[in-house]
Amino acid sequence: MKIVAAKQILKANDQLAAENRLRFQHRGVFGVNLVGSPGCGKTTLLESLFRTLRGRVSPAVIEGDIAGQIDADRMTAMGVPVVQINTDGMCHLDANMIAAAWDGLEGDAEQAVDMLIVENVGNLVCTAGYDLGEHLRIVVLSVSEGDDKLVKYPAIFQRSQALVITKMDLLPYTNFNVERVRGDMRRLNPDAEIFAVSALQGDGMDGLADWLAARRSAVPATSRS
Amino acid sequence: MKIVAAKQILKANDQLAAENRLRFQHRGVFGVNLVGSPGCGKTTLLESLFRTLRGRVSPAVIEGDIAGQIDADRMTAMGVPVVQINTDGMCHLDANMIAAAWDGLEGDAEQAVDMLIVENVGNLVCTAGYDLGEHLRIVVLSVSEGDDKLVKYPAIFQRSQALVITKMDLLPYTNFNVERVRGDMRRLNPDAEIFAVSALQGDGMDGLADWLAARRSAVPATSRS
């Protein structure tokens, strides 16, 4: 019974996600689903990314959190249109929440948004199962989390198109082995891109930003209104 | 429909958890449920704790992971009896899994175990809702995760009896504010104990070990066989 119900929920979610993807494409919007553990540095990565991409993309953000609006306030401070979703205990975002949040963003943004980044709830497990309608899923892993996470939480690394290793400025103070992580990722997901950055210090951000801008340009926009 | 089913699952879990707690007490075993984000340092904390508590407690461990047995191998290397649970995608342990794992441990351990530590799946959300039959829940937060986690993930901090702030050796390289976290914890959970440690360097471990040993002695053992 439980398994059937879960499958039905996921099937319904997949249908809603496909609808979201069509809506985004009609508006020429490239959708990114950013996932990772609590405290892996997703918000700081976005702040650094938006600084690096200034003038090249017009981003909007959907922030997913159990409670609070700390991250949404940080996006507002950067002048980025943002909607905060409070999941009230739910451990992941789903396509239905994104549809509702996008309703709010679509009308309000002063200029045409061409990149929507969803910062998911901090969770390396449950977020792996839910398509939100994104074009690209990026998983974030900080060096302070340790280099064994791909072995322990394989699904989310298999189901992402890019891995961003963050907090490289902390590398000298940890026993994190970047080459081990690169090797594990290549085994789990040979086609994924791998970036290593320090969002605080800016190292590696140009490569990530260029790649993301190129991916955005390649989105098959049905029309760009 | 979904909500009712979830409540029924949680109710059934609570009953199994109560049975686990009785079983532990009959054997004079003190049960601890260790929760926290992926990579917050739960396993390294256990290694340091067992070194500090050597000769004072006879621990056993249940390791919960999505996949792999890295952490169980680390416990075996320390001579600590361990059972690895692979949840195969499940985002938390439940009382039923603990009952099965304890079946394995109870018979095999060469000497009488008096402290069972369950290292839960790395997850700051879903683990909050599941009583495993423990006497004590400890939540771990590393300084590299940032000091805003209590605002974003309040439930797990409200439902734990102690907070251990880990990786204090990384503090100089982060903007983590220990006093902010202490204040947030006192507001969410005034009765909780708060420890700040570096498990790698040993700082603060004596205080945590002494407190845990005292808590173990206070467990109302129905009989100690």
The minimal CB distance from A5 to the residues B5, B148, B149 is found for B5
- pLDDT class of B112 with cuts at 50, 70, 90: confident
- pLDDT class of A224 with cuts at 50, 70, 90: very low
pLDDT higher than threshold 90 for residue A88: no
Q: Express each pLDDT in B74-95 by its tens digit.
A: 999 999 999 999 988 889 999 9
SS3 state of residue A110: coil
Cβ-based contacts of B122 with chain A (< 8 Å): 37, 124-125, 152-153
B contact residues 18-37, partner A, Cβ 8 Å cutoff: 37
Q: Where are the beta strands (DSSP E) in B100-192?
A: 115-119, 136-142, 162-166
Closest CA to B198 of B6, B39, B48: B48
Sheet bearing B30-36, strands edge to edge: B82-86, B59-65, B115-119, B30-36, B136-142, B162-166, B193-196
Q: Is the ipTM of this complex over 0.90?
A: no
On whether the CB atoms of residues B169 and B198 are closer than 8 A, the answer is: yes
Cβ-based contacts of B91 with chain A (< 8 Å): 91, 123, 125-126
Answer whether A153 sits within 8 Å of B125, measured CB to CB: no
Q: What is the mean pLDDT of residues B53-63?
A: 95
Closest CA to B126 of B156, B157, B162: B156
- How confident is the model at residue A3, as a pLDDT? 44
Which stretch of A92-106, A108-122, A188-202 has the lowest confidence by average pLDDT? Answer: A108-122
Residues contacting A7, CB < 8 A, separation 6+: none
Best mutation target among A69, A123, A139 (most B Cβ atoms within 10 Å) is A123
Compute the mean pLDDT over every residue in chain A, rounded to the nearest whole number.
92
- How confident is the model at residue B104, as a pLDDT? 85
The minimal CB distance from A91 to the residues B37, B122, B125 is found for B125
- How confident is the model at residue A176, as a pLDDT? 98
Q: What is the mean pLDDT of residues B28-46?
A: 97
pLDDT higher than threshold 80 for residue B6: no
pTM of the full predicted structure?
Answer: 0.91
- Please state the φ and ψ torsions of residue A57, each to the nearest 5 degrees: -135, 160
pLDDT higher than threshold 60 for residue B1: no
Residues contacting A182, CB < 8 A, separation 6+: A194
On whether the CB atoms of residues A132 and A94 are closer than 8 A, the answer is: yes
- pLDDT class of A225 with cuts at 50, 70, 90: very low
Answer whether B67 sits within 8 Å of A152, measured CB to CB: yes
Which stretch of A33-42, A102-111, A196-205, B177-186 has the lowest confidence by average pLDDT? Answer: A102-111
- pLDDT class of A6 with cuts at 50, 70, 90: low
Which stretch of A165-169, A185-189, A216-220 has the lowest confidence by average pLDDT? Answer: A216-220
The minimal CB distance from B38 to the residues A37, A67, A170 is found for A37
CB pairs under 8 A between A and B: 116
Higher per-residue confidence, B106 vs A97 = A97
On whether the CB atoms of residues B224 and B68 are closer than 8 A, the answer is: no
CB burial of A203-225 (b: ≥16 within 10 Å; e: otherwise) equals ebbeebbeebeebbeebebeeee
pLDDT higher than threshold 50 for residue B224: no
Q: What is the mean pLDDT of residues A87-94?
A: 90
The minimal CB distance from A70 to the residues B68, B151, B169 is found for B151
Question: How far is B39 from A37, CA to CA, in rounded Å?
Answer: 8
Question: How far is A85 from A132, CA to CA, in rounded Å?
Answer: 14
Answer whether B152 sits within 8 Å of A65, measured CB to CB: yes
- pLDDT class of A89 with cuts at 50, 70, 90: confident
Residue B170 DSSP one-character state: G
CATH topology of domain B2-217: Rossmann fold (3.40.50)
Question: How far is A114 from A45, CA to CA, in rounded Å?
Answer: 19
On whether the CB atoms of residues A35 and A128 are closer than 8 A, the answer is: yes
Side-chain-side CA neighbours of residue B19 (13 Å) = 15
Residues contacting B57, CB < 8 A, separation 6+: B114, B115, B212, B213, B216
- Please state the φ and ψ torsions of residue A223, each to the nearest 5 degrees: -155, 150
Compute the mean pLDDT over every residue in chain B, rounded to the nearest whole number.
92
Q: What is the mean pLDDT of residues B183-196?
A: 98
Cβ-based contacts of A121 with chain B (< 8 Å): 125
